[in-house]
Chain A
Amino acid sequence: MPELERPTAAPAPGTGRRAKIVGFLCDFAVDASALTAPDGTMRDAPNVTLIKVPCSGFVRPAWLEFALRNGAEGTFVCGCPLGDCFNRLGNNLIGDRVVQLRRRFERQKIHPDRIAAIYFGLHDREEFLRAVKAFSEHVAQLPGPVVPAPRAPGGGPVRPAARPAAGSHVIEAGQTPPSAPQQAGPPPEAREGS
């Protein structure tokens, strides 16, 4: 977890500001049920919301970018310790993908430290909490807007009606997310069981 252990230089200007963080948490990694409220918000860090996923390898890198483009200031994925993935290689895969995504973010002028992959086993609650708080503080200090304003090819801001940049799914408030293709899965009422 080198990206988390980087020492932070100075306290954030305007301390106490909390960055909105979305975390993807593997079902088999750290047991955060004692740390979170029913809606996934962490008790000790209310700016952090955890979304449980079946494996850290399940997370598409596009979802991390999606979170940043939809209001989160930082996102992380938490898997089991490297080498100990319940599904064998899921955490190695997401680790590689996060590294790739950081490179892509650098090209897109998004600060790469806004995403991270961290690895904590079932009982490492305190360490996990500490790492999440460190990440959240680090993200709060990062400069600039989360996502740079899109530019038209000739320079100057893009008007809202224009097509969004390729790969970004921006959702305005009150709008439904883009619908998944029709072939996928049973009707919505059958999905509530999960």
Chain B
Amino acid sequence: MYSRALARLLAWTLRLDVAINRVYPEDFNPLYYTGGLSNLFLTVLVLSGIFLFLYYVPSFNDAYISVQFITDQVPYGLIIRGIHRYAADGFMIAVLLHFFRNWFTDRFRFSRDEPWISGMMLLLFAGFLGVTGYVLVWDQRSQLLVAMTGRTLGAVPWIGGWLETQWQGSAGISNLLLPRMLYLHVGPAVMLYILLWWHYVRIRHPKVWPPAVWTLFSLGLVFLLTGLLPATSQPAARPETVPTTLAVDWLFLLPYIGLKVLSPLALIALAVVITLYGLYIPYQLPETPAAMGIRDSGIAQVIDANCTGCELCYFDCPYNAIVMVPSPHPGVTKAAQARKLFAIVLESRCVECGICIGACPFEALELPRLLERDIQEKVVQACRS
């Protein structure tokens, strides 16, 4: 049932790709660049965020005023604020597309669990950043968000009170709240880059940027939205009265809608279950390729005698599974005798795709259960039939 649903989702994903490929050349299909688009939006967010940080005052009385000052008085302040607002939406959309696409197309198998786990953490941090960003404006929505989050955290058994205090910075709402929120907005943003390093570290040639046309299109779209719908604040927060209606942002504040139907404890339990399941996704598959029902050709093997240390397999291996080490001894063939380096396959990272075999012009790599000889036999057989 579950696997059938995933198979159908995979089919829909691929059908969508085919439809988009009819419109754009394959190199420009935006769905192939969701990760690059996320990174683009994140860069825009960081740059515009630095600008906003220069003028923002994290104090109870001045926060709202300083945001209004940025909007009305600072040159280009309205535009930069709008860019920060809409780039955040774009970031979230791109991240969610990236998440669902890689989920439905099984891009978490084998050694890709590290990008998956780091990606889940990036998603959590991104959502949290959105909430703290909404609090910083310190309008009525911010006030309600702080109250709702505090109440939800307070419902956690045993450590609820402590969590609530940590969230607010003090027992009640006090002037310590906004500096803490500012830190919780900037600190996790820095953390995103640490997680991004983890996200990329096992990947050779990650597609970090989208094609130039999509860069321009995304930036243009952000500017357009900024011009058409300038980012605005709600009325300023009043400590004496907590507002009762939440102006919902469906991208970032979705969990808060759940509070309408769920008790805070149930919401937290649901969030924990979803998060844990997300982290578990790569590990619910069977261990071996044979048990998954796909080809099991074995870990790529380097043939010592033929390896010339030319590094071609090292450049082409998609998961950094090949490392070059100083050659312990010369190779046997003429080309391999003067080698300085020698290729090593790290078994834990090898996904048995065989790309290194295609990269090697010296016949120095083989998949143990799909040798070059086997392929040649098949070719000869095919030509005879």
Contact = CB atoms under 8 A, between A and B. Distances in A.
Interface string A20-33: 10100001000000
B216 interface: no
Given A54-B354, A86-B107, A121 B18 contact: yes
Contacts of B107: 86
B286 to A, nearest CB: 16
A39 B385 contact: yes
A9 interface: no
Contacts of B32: 83-84
A119 B384 CA distance: 26
B208 to A, nearest CB: 13
Contacts of A119: 26
A57 B205 CA distance: 15
Contacts of B384: 71, 173
B26 A51 contact: no
Nearest to A127: B18
Contacts of A34: none
B357 interface: yes
Contact of A63 (B203, B303, B376): B376
Nearest to A47: B385
A29 B185 CA distance: 43
Interface in B18-51: 18, 21, 26-27, 29, 32-33
A181 B358 contact: no
Contact of B26 (A49, A83, A122): A83
A57 B357 CA distance: 8
B383 A89 contact: no
B354 A121 contact: no
How extensive is the interface on chain A, given as a class? 35 or more
A71 B294 CA distance: 31
Given A89-B316, A193-B296, A58 B203 contact: no
Interface string A156-177: 0000000000000101010001
Contacts of B298: 185
B304 A183 contact: yes
A81 interface: yes
A54 B297 CA distance: 8
Contact of A60 (B11, B21, B372, B377): B372
A59 interface: yes
B295 A82 contact: no
Given A59-B358, A60-B372, A70-B383, A81 B21 contact: yes
A72 B379 contact: yes
B380 interface: yes
Interface in A43-92: 49, 51-55, 57-63, 66-67, 70-72, 81-84, 86-90
29 contacts: A39-B385, A49-B385, A51-B378, A51-B382, A54-B297, A57-B353, A57-B355, A57-B358, A60-B358, A62-B361, A72-B382, A81-B17, A84-B105, A86-B106, A88-B204, A89-B316, A90-B318, A123-B18, A173-B384, A177-B377, A177-B380, A180-B366, A180-B373, A184-B366, A185-B366, A185-B368, A186-B369, A191-B368, A194-B297
Given A86-B107, A87-B355, A184-B371, 10 more contacts: A60-B357, A67-B383, A70-B379, A119-B26, A121-B18, A181-B306, A183-B304, A184-B368, A194-B297, A194-B370
5 cross-chain pairs, A with B, having the tightest CB-CB distances, nearest first: A58-B354, A71-B383, A185-B368, A49-B382, A83-B32
